[in-house]
Amino acid sequence: MPDAPDPDLLAAWTALLRRCGAADDPEPAGRELLRRWAEPQRRYHSTGHLRAVLAHVDALAGHADDPDAVRLAAWFHDAVYRPDRSENEERSAVLAVRALAGAGLPAARVDEVARLVRLTVTHHPGPGDRDGEVLCDADLAVLGGTPEAYAAYAAAVREEYAFVPEPDFRAGRAAVLRRLLALPALYRTPTARERFDAPARANLTAELAQLAQLAEPTGASGPTGA
């Protein structure tokens, strides 16, 4: 029998949907969402991640134009998550449209939530996209944690991709880290930029160096000539 959903998260979902004008009882949809977030293949993209992103959205809500749309997008941004699939964000956006339209939310807000969910593919909001900036900063806040917290996050991601051979994982992971470091800005809101940018860049750079070290052939000698 599946575990009961987190009561605090379920209460937060129910209050959010009612505040947004849901026509029907939002609890069944919340239970289904929490069932998804608790699927066994998840090690990092779990209810813990959902809870953390929602907390960061709350902390950054003053920057958003529509904080509740950002909260809704946080609930759906990884609602569909299969590590062996590449279309998770698109499927999550489609799920958001179906669930929120079915709940009777206005079409404009439903469209905004779907747009925000799709934005988490690149984490690159356009100029003036304050809602996108808040969601992306909340989603990437984990990168700016302590070295110990970052190491736990990286290990959990590796567990989710346990089916990928080590050399392939290292190459793919390094590409992701380089893409993040190449973003014009890792964080867009002033609060997140001040709090997370420097530690995130240090964490990403350290993991890249570790991946490169692991990729070196064992027993290789260093340079011997001038």
In this predicted structure, what is the pLDDT of residue 217? 61
pLDDT value of residue 74: 98
Percentage of the residues of the chain whose pLDDT score is greater than 90: 90
Q: Does 48 score more than 70 pLDDT? A: yes
Delineate the domains of the chain, giving CATH numbers in brackets: 7-214 (1.10.1300.10)
For residue range 9-18, list pLDDT tens digits in order.
Answer: 999 999 999 9
Question: How far is Cα 170 from Cα 187, in angstroms, rounded to an integer?
Answer: 25
Cβ-count burial of 129 within 10 angstroms (0-12 exposed, 13-18 middle, 19+ buried)?
middle
- Residue 2 confidence (pLDDT): 54
CA of residue 49 relative to chain centroid, distance: 7
* Identity at 95, one-letter amino acid code: L
Tokens for 210, please give them. 């570790």
1, pLDDT greater than 70: no
Whether this model's pTM surpasses 0.95: no
How many angstroms separate the CA atoms of 33 and 51, rounded? Answer: 13
Map residue 213 onto helix, strand or coil.
Answer: helix
Q: What is the mean pLDDT of residues 194-207?
A: 98
